[in-house]
Amino acid sequence: MSVLIRVVALNLWLFCSIGKIAEAKSYDLNNFSSVEAFEKGRILRAQFKNIESRRYLKFAADQGDPNAAYLYAMELISYKSTIRTASESKYYLILAARNGSRKAMQFLYQYANWLKEEERLFWKNNYYNALINLGRSQPAQAFYDLSQYHKGSYDELSQYYLSRAVVFNHPKALMDVAHQIEVGKGNFVSSDAREAQVRQIYLKAAETGYLPAILIYIKCLEGDQMYEKAYEWRIKAMEAGDLMSLPILASILTNQSEPYGFVESDVVAAKAYLSVYLESAGKDKLPTLYSNIEMLFSKLSLILNDTSDNKLINLENKIKSHAPFYRHDVFWDY
């Protein structure tokens, strides 16, 4: 076979291979249901893989998933805005609201100043009606959202709905009550009694497994210098999937956190936590943190010898059993 024929054959093979890869990627996405694509995009976004996440969120949104449309719109708004991005985000916000996203309805009546007043009122009424209907299937969430809906305009009713949500142990309702006591609500015989009550309510919220509640409870324990208890809850935060707990625990295990000096140094475990972080997280947000973790990971690799490999692999697998790891933000709940 001549050299020319070989080159042509190689180019043809590469062209076909690239085409098959592209087709496979497209085919894979089309194999997703809208719900699956939304969940995939939601996780990717919460792992700082925002650019990749938008592909899944847009696909799910275009298939009619209201939560994906809302989250995609929020991604566009938080991205470097252009005229096109602004118009596209508005389109997906309206699409999300029309398909039933309560978050989108709420955003439209509260912040969509490009809409006419009667349009914003329309979405406010739709949002309220959606909350009433939500009470049939998710009463705790409905009570909590109604408390937020009336907050500032009808505070007595807002507090009533908040108390109803607390009965259901709704974590955000418990957190709100704890915060109210923290800033002065209620009568207590001493500041210590007030702080004890606040801590107890945050504990109750944390015990529901709600990640933001766990993280706030850790801060309470640290504020009270109860670091041994705080360390136990830092492990629980990691087990609940908190992405940021991975480098924090690695820092503690390499004696970089003075208040946690009682924790025995464990370089292998620290490397395992960093390894899982580097595998889980992207660089679209907090790229400096990612680079710093890479550097620390490399330093620990120089310290460890080959005899640690099996222990490292076992620890990594144990940590990964709590995956997916993600960073909870205001857009995570829906």
For residue range 303-317, list pLDDT tens digits in order.
Answer: 887 778 899 999 999
3-state SS, residue 189 = coil
Read off the pLDDT of each residue in 199-227 and give the average, rounded to a whole number. 97
The predicted pLDDT at position 50 comes to 97
pLDDT band at 200 (very low <50, low <70, confident <90, very high): very high
DSSP 2: -
pLDDT band at 81 (very low <50, low <70, confident <90, very high): low
Smallest Cα–Cα separation from 61: which of 88, 26, 28?
88
Specify the higher pLDDT residue, 306 or 11.
306
What proportion of the chain, given as a percentage, has pLDDT over 70? 91
pLDDT band at 80 (very low <50, low <70, confident <90, very high): low
The domain tally of the chain equals: 1
Q: Is residue 297 part of a domain?
A: yes
**Spatial separation of the C-alpha atoms in residues 260 and 237, rounded to whole Å:** 16
CB atoms within 10 A of CB 38: 26
**Spatial separation of the C-alpha atoms in residues 309 and 118, rounded to whole Å:** 65
The predicted pLDDT at position 82 comes to 72
For residue range 118-165, what is the model confidence (pLDDT) as tens digits? 999 999 999 999 999 999 999 999 999 999 999 999 999 999 999 999
CB 214 within 8 A of CB 232: no
What proportion of the chain, given as a percentage, has pLDDT over 90? 86
Range of the domain at 297: 243-334
Q: Is residue 322 part of a domain?
A: yes
From the centroid of its chain, how far is CA 79?
A: 17
pTM for the structure as a whole: 0.88
**Spatial separation of the C-alpha atoms in residues 282 and 51, rounded to whole Å:** 10
Burial of 113 (0-12, 13-18, 19+ CB in 10 A): exposed
Specify the higher pLDDT residue, 75 or 19.
75
pLDDT band at 45 (very low <50, low <70, confident <90, very high): very high
Q: Is residue 325 part of a domain?
A: yes
Res 47 pLDDT > 70: yes
Smallest Cα–Cα separation from 151: which of 140, 141, 162?
162
Res 8 pLDDT > 50: no
Q: Is residue 278 part of a domain?
A: yes
Burial of 74 (0-12, 13-18, 19+ CB in 10 A): buried
Q: What is the mean pLDDT of the chain?
A: 91
Res 188 pLDDT > 50: yes
The predicted pLDDT at position 20 comes to 40
